[in-house]
Chains A and B, each alone.
Chain A
Amino acid sequence: MSVPTKLQEPHLARRHRIGKAFEWVCCGSTWFGVVVLGVLLLSVGWKALTWPPAKAKPANNSTATVDAQSTSAPLSTKFFSSYDSRKPREAGILAAIWGSLWLIVLVALFSVPIGVGSAVYLEEYSNEGRLKRLIQVNLSNLAGVPSIVYALLGMTAFVKMFGFFTKDEGKSLVINLLFTTVDVPLPFDRTLISGALTLTLLVLPTVIVASQEALRAVPSSIRTASYALGATQWQTIRYQVVPAAMPGIMTGVILALSRAMGEAAPLMLIGALTYVAYTPGDITSVSDIFKNPHGLLDAPFDKFTALPLQIYQWINHPRAEYAHLAAAGIMVLLTILLLMNTFAIVIRHKFQKSTRW
């Protein structure tokens, strides 16, 4: 194997070395994130699982028999079924979990129709023009606005309602449904619905942009074919475009919801409580819904707490034991977020395989 001299280039070895070095730099960047995440998970997990301390059997506890049962070891059933408590051993995340669940459901209820509706209007109906471009630029900018700014807006618009109702404090609007009535407090005050509406504002730009991208990915030949068969624009959107864009829309919505789920700052500012000894609508299990269906209507107007807030409060607590509880709360929150993101990926993957244009 003799290499002809013509094939020898100057500095070739050096150029290859640079290439190799670049590859290592990129590889390092990737692993930096993975390692940091790993360390975080390990430290949080260790902290969560080393509670309660093994030797812990306080001598001054007279009701020793009860103690063994009632200790809310993190990630035990007790931890999930108890409210927050002044005694770290009895504190749990029941109120926080239900609060977060309600938030997510309400945010989804508000943000999906509004977000998908705006995306459909922008992509399918509105004409290209200066106004559309203006809206588009604003949407992209809004997606990057810090959450605390939305919190200020939520505070003014929903919690205080611009001060319109300050004169008669505690007034509520009684809405008569067919079978029952709902008391809607005016202003909304520090209730679930204020929190949900604020978080909706926060995630709306993300939902709209994601939905727009999903709608844009639907090939125009589908629309043309539908029109050619005598479908109206509404029928084309309803039966062809939106169903085809659904996986993309769902993925965007779930990712936006998981962002809303992790937000603490806006909820803190609008004044969600940190110590709550009840769940919204007094619903603590699925069977409660059937026992007391009216709770579903009351829940949005109850005061609440949420997982990130509970975690924040426990971390700031002067007693060191609460740090373990916070770690356990983080584990729960991370697990839920991970499940949601996995779900989003599964949806995307499933539909990518079944629809090839």
Chain B
Amino acid sequence: MNVERIKNAEIMLDNVGMTYDATDGKKVQALTSVTMDIQKGEFISLLGPSGCGKTTLLRIIADLLQPTSGKVLIGGESPKEARLKRKYGMVFQSAVLYDWRTVIKNIELPLEIIHEGKAERRERAVKMLDLVGLSEFANHYPRQLSGGMQQRVGIARALALQPEILLMDEPFSALDEFTREKLHIDLLKIWRKTNKTIIFVTHNISESVFLSDRVCVLSPHPGRLSAVIDIDLPRPRTMEIRDTPEFTALVAKVRNSFEGV
């Protein structure tokens, strides 16, 4: 791989592949040779139906899985080094908040892990909570919040360590449409303010078009990257953009790029 690529790309995937052993001894190709570069500050969606390997790809970047072939570099380092340096924050499908901690203490959790001082911890957590617009709920417990609010706390917690990259695994898929659309706007605002690189896994076509700079379409059997589509809609994006013919055309283009579904 050339030096130029390493220098420019925040995340670089080179021929990444993943093969599982099925119980009957056969090999299952979850992912075959994915090659792509993700630039700093980019909003990338990994889109596809279940079994296409989008979550596998995200987990490889997060160092939760080791690829069986190919190479991943994050800012020129391996995923493991990136993880140990806390270069990315993770947001899961459910918020994974700790019931026994208040909202503010949940956000402080990663800061406790890196032994941040008490005052700094609180200060940073308050800032993050403000960023996601939940300041008044600081001393509530997670169970007192709605699903959408819980997920916003999850995002605030992921940002608390000030990582350069945000990895999001279908974060809004359990929410209703109204909440989800509101969180789309909120997420884009947070992204603009913080200038993170976001990798966003989803199976929702219009969601991926609305949010992303580029949509990476993955197809199943075997899991592979079948298209990368630039979304050249203007920013900042508003709710109304969904009603424009340009948006509809892009959604159609993404939908047509699927293979073998």
The judgment on whether A and B are partners is: no
- What residues of chain A have their CB less than 8 Å away from a CB belonging to chain B? none
- What residues of chain B have their CB less than 8 Å away from a CB belonging to chain A? none
